[in-house]
Amino acid sequence: DAKTTQPPSMDCAEGRAANLPCNHSTISGNEYVYWYRQIHSQGPQYIIHGLKNNETNEMASLIITEDRKSSTLILPHATLRDTAVYYCIVRKRSSGYSTLTFGKGTMLLVSP
C-alpha cells in the first residue's frame, strides 16, 4: 500500500488559512487520498477524500497535484477548534474490502 509523508507539526494563526501538505509518491491509479483528523481525547473524524480532482466540502478543500504524488488539505479560516492531528491516508484495497492505514499525521496548532 502507498505510504504518505507529512510534517510532524504546523502552526497557524486563528482566522488564517491552514495548508497541510502530504506526499504520496507511490500512490496507485485506483487509490484514493483520505484526510481524517483527531482532536485530543476523541476518535478520528473523516474530513474529505479525493481521487484526482480537487474537492471541497463544508469542512475543507483538497488539492491533488496532476501527477497525484502529493496533496494539500486546506482549512480556509482556521479556528481554535481545528487544533488536532491531521492524517493523510491512501486507501488500500484488500480482498474487496478497503482499509485505512494511519501514519503519525501532522499536529496542527491554531493560536489566537
Partner 1 sequence: EAGVAQSPRYKIIEKRQSVAFWCNPISGHATLYWYQQILGQGPKLLIQFQNNGVVDDSQLPKDRFSAERLKGVDSTLKIQPAKLEDSAVYLCASSPQPGGGPRGNEQFFGPGTRLTVL
Concatenated DSSP letters for the chain? ----B--SEEEEETTS-EEEEEE-TT--TTPPEEEEEE-TTS--EEEEEESSS-EE-SS-EEEE-TTSSEEEEEETT--GGG-EEEEEEEPEEETTEEE------EEEEEE-
Stretch that binds partner 1, among 12-20, 61-69, 72-80, 94-102 (CB under 8 A): 94-102
Closer residue to partner 1 in complex, CB, 17/46: 46
Stretch that binds partner 1, among 18-26, 35-43, 63-71, 73-81 (CB under 8 A): 35-43
Number of residues that bind partner 1 (CB under 8 A): 25
Kindly write out the interface string for residues 14-33 of this chain, putting x where it contacts partner 1 by CB under 8 A and - elsewhere.
Answer: ------------------x-
- Which residues bind to partner 1, rule: CB under 8 A? 32, 41-46, 49, 51, 85, 87, 91, 93-105
